Structure formats: C-alpha cells, structure tokens
Amino acid sequence: MKRHSKFTRAISLTAIGAAMSACSLFSYDNTGEEPEVQTKGRLSLSFIREDVLASKAVYETVDTNSFILKVQDENGQIIYDGAYGDSPETFELDAGTYTVSALSCEFSAPAFASPQYGDEQCVVVPPGKEIGVRLQCVLMNCGVVLGIDSDFLTIYPKSFFYVKSEAGRLLYSYTQKNIAYFKPGKISVQLADNQSTETLLTRTLAAGDILRLKINVSSSASSQESGIRIAVDTAKNWINESFTIGGSGGGSSGESGGSGNTDQVLTIAQVKEADEGEPVWVSGYIVGGDLTQANASFSPPFSSNTNLVLGPRSSSSSRSSCLAVSLPKGDVRDALNLVDHPELLGKAVEVFGEVSHSYFGMDGLKNVSDYRLK
C-alpha cells in the first residue's frame, strides 16, 4: 500500500513546463484575406504527485489548495496572486514569458510547525497553443526537533533550551513536539539557566534538512558533572552523535532509521495514483454533483444526494481533474449532499474513504465514513 507522508528532501527547483519558442502562428481561410495573427495562448497549472513527501522527519500535513500562487509576466506585471484553490483551471494569456511561483506560506522568522514548501518556474506560453506547468514543491526551510529525556528536568530543574539562528531564537520547552523551522544556515542548540547560556552544538542545515536531536541524561546522573548525551539525527544523513557537557567531546556514526507519520491527507492528484481500495483522507473543494457515467453538474440546482464531485480548486469544472465521491446513507450524506446544502458548493472539505478507480467512469472514493469541513 502506498503511503505519502510529508516533504523533507531539498532538491533543486525544476522547470517542469517545457519552454517553447514564441513564434507567431497564423490561421488561414479560403477567402484570400490576410492571415490572422494569433497572439493568445493558454497556461494550465497543476501539482506533481508529491513523491518527495516520503519523509521520516516532517510531521505536518500539506494542503496544496491553500498554496499562495503567483503568475507574473516578464515585466513583473501580476496576472494572479492568490490561493491556488481559487485560481482558474486555465489562464488565457498573451504569448510570452511568465514566472509561476507557489508557496505554502510566508516565512521570515523562526517558528514552530511552519514548513515552507515552494517552487518557481519560468515558462514560455506559445501563441495559439496551451502549455501545462506542473509544480513540484519541496521544503524550502530547515528545522530542528528535540527529544528531551523525561529525567532531564529533575536533574537540571533550572535549565532550559534555545534553538537559535541569525534570524532569531526559539525557547524549546520540555513538552514541545513540533519542529522548529528556520531559514537555511547555521543553527545552534543552547542550554541556558538564569545566569548563563552555553552553545551545545552548531550545525549548518540546507533547505529540506531536519535535524533531530535526542537529548539524554545518564541513568546514574545526579548532578551536572555527570554530563548530557546528545544523539543527532538528520533527515538527509542519518547521523548519531554523542556530546557530553563538561566532557572531552563525542563521536558520530551513520545509521538509518526513523519512521514517519501515516496520519496524512492526500491531494486529489495523489488519490488518482493510489492503490485500489486504499483507505485515505483526501482534501479538495466541493465543486459539483449529479454524477452519471458521462456527465457531472457543476452548477445548482442539484437533484442527487448520493454523490458529489471534489475538485483540486474551487473553480474546477472538468471531470478529468476531479474526484467522484460516493455519499453513503447516514451522517456523511446528511451533512455533505448538495441537494440539502447548496451553500457547500465551493467549500473546502476533507473526506475519508476507500480509493476507487471506476466510480461513474472517474477516479473517486467509495465507502466514505468521515469528513471534516474546513
């Protein structure tokens, strides 16, 4: 069974859209009139299935519908700046060069649980044709997560930890479970009390690196002289290190291991490639219903309460880009059907069910048993 957890590997941003020469195309008729120059082209956007989400260290769910999408021309003129889920499925543009960028969030200062994923591509829109750009968003910042021994507070009751970069520092509490995110660069872990602050170690992290530090105290420790051991684990290079405060240093050894979070929400594109019958959560927008083997309705009024259409964005109106969702009799149908709740059209939702690649001639979900309106 396929599992898609969160992005962790930093890879180069790649231009997936093929660059095509912007030569003028002409349309001819049989009247002998001058040919008409075609100056418009079409641009469609989608996200690549997130294979790079196979991570052992990042725990946060990523919703591509809420990504900040920006399309601008070669002069810097903004064509679109807003949520990916609200963008049109196809942009009609003047032929020319455009920059397309997507960010999961703005990120400028250290923060917990704030992974920033992104991609930026330059694409040439040819006249008279349509070009597709597939966005492959990867982790752009880096992070640190601490695992602190439960005995630490007993032995060092007045001590606490900071995780620090040039842009600022975060107080890392003993109960903190989230990753502390930073811009790539030098990241330090500090031990402090009311009188002093000591840097335990400093690492240079690249985009996509998640440094996992397991901080232990010796089982026989009863005072600071006994020392602290720190094991280091990174998302890219599984490395274990030991560090003893007041000691002579430590060593390191490579080691594979770790496990990721399997409680995650897939995009519609991911569900289309998942295994038949796989139980999954999927995120999307309610964009239609009244499914038949060949058609779907994307505008009210609706007449069937047994199914709906889930789109990758609120403006989706193409069966090929959407997901068919069965609404079994019961709470799910009562809450989500568009006959009784036309106000849900265009609303974001997460639904849990089993993957089907043959529901009304579409990829979809059957046996839906749970939902979360967003």
Q: From first to last of its 374 residues, what are the pLDDT tens digits of the chain?
A: 443 333 333 223 333 333 333 333 344 455 556 556 678 999 888 777 443 343 434 444 567 778 999 999 999 999 999 998 888 889 999 999 999 999 999 999 999 989 898 999 999 999 999 998 888 878 899 989 888 877 787 888 889 999 999 999 999 988 888 889 999 999 999 999 988 999 988 999 988 888 888 887 765 544 444 456 655 544 443 333 444 443 333 333 333 333 233 357 888 888 988 888 889 999 999 999 999 998 999 999 999 999 999 998 888 888 988 999 999 999 999 999 999 999 999 999 999 999 999 999 999 999 999 999 98
Domains of the chain: 40-139 (2.60.40), 142-254 (no CATH), 265-373 (2.40.50.200)
Which residue stretches of the chain are H helix?
Answer: 152-155, 268-272, 331-336
Cα distances from 108 to residues 150, 166, 270, in angstroms, run: 32, 12, 30
Q: Given phi > 0 = left and psi -120 to 50 = alpha, else beta, which region is 224?
A: alpha
77-313-345 Cα angle (round to 5): 125
Query: Rounded to an integer, what distance in angstroms lies between the CA atom of residue 131 and that of residue 18?
Result: 8
Instruction: Quote the tokens at residue 208.
Output: 């996509």
Across the beta sheet with 117-125, the strand order is: 78-83, 68-73, 96-103, 117-125, 138-139
Specify the length of the chain in residues: 374
Query: Rounded to an integer, what distance in angstroms lies between the CA atom of residue 245 and that of residue 228?
Result: 6
Query: Rounded to an integer, what distance in angstroms lies between the CA atom of residue 56 and that of residue 63?
Result: 19
